[in-house]
Amino acid sequence: MKACGSGDSKGNMNRISAFIVVVAVALVAAGCGGSDTDEFNDGVKKAQQPMDQAAKNADNADPGQMDRYAQAMDDTVARLRELDAPDEAQDEYDAFIKEIEAGADAARDTSSAARSGDKEAFAEAIAQLEQHFKAISEKAEAVGTAVG
């Protein structure tokens, strides 16, 4: 059931899927240090699996799928909170997690806007969601730099 949306909803979700890859690559590529760093990077990759899986099936014009994507982001945050970031990356890691939480809220806003049928609100919600994904990617790169 597609309550509202643009014809490019799959394109938006493809950008989200690409973002997931960018986050994982930024953290893994920067983590060329010792076993603690490798363990942290592996943990981050595993923690992101709920988002990876949800992004494969997500369609931002489908409120139910966006709700599931928001839940997957929440699950990822819970997994990330279980990891111990290296001391030199703790501040960046905390900011990364907070941005994912904000992205989950934006996904829920997108779902609500799609349900409302208000195309203007939906377009704004999508724009906000994409801004959060860009910010998440930037925060991930900052973690990667701090870890590396």
Tokens of 33: 């240090």
Look up residue 59 and give its amino acid.
Answer: D
The CA-to-CA distance between both ends of the chain, in Å, stands at: 45
Look up residue 6 and give its amino acid.
Answer: S
Model-level pTM greater than 0.85? no
CA–CA dist 24, 32 (Å, integer): 14
Residues of the chain with pLDDT > 90, as a percent, come to 36
**Predicted confidence (pLDDT) at residue 148 exceeds the cutoff of 80:** no
CA–CA dist 112, 107 (Å, integer): 9
**Predicted confidence (pLDDT) at residue 120 exceeds the cutoff of 90:** yes
104: helix, strand or coil: helix
Question: Any idea which residue has 């369609």 for tokens?
Answer: 59
Q: How many CA atoms lie within 13 A of 42 on its CB side?
A: 7
Question: Any idea which residue has 């988002």 for tokens?
Answer: 51
pLDDT in the model for residue 71:
93
100's enclosing H/E stretch is helix 90-116
Domains of the chain with CATH codes: 9-147 (1.20.120)
Give the distance, in angstroms, between the CA of residue 123 and the centroid of all CA atoms in the same chain: 19
CA proximity to 107, closest of 12, 23, 1, 27: 12
- Give tens-digit pLDDT for 15-36: 555 555 455 555 555 545 566 7
CA proximity to 91, closest of 146, 128, 52: 146
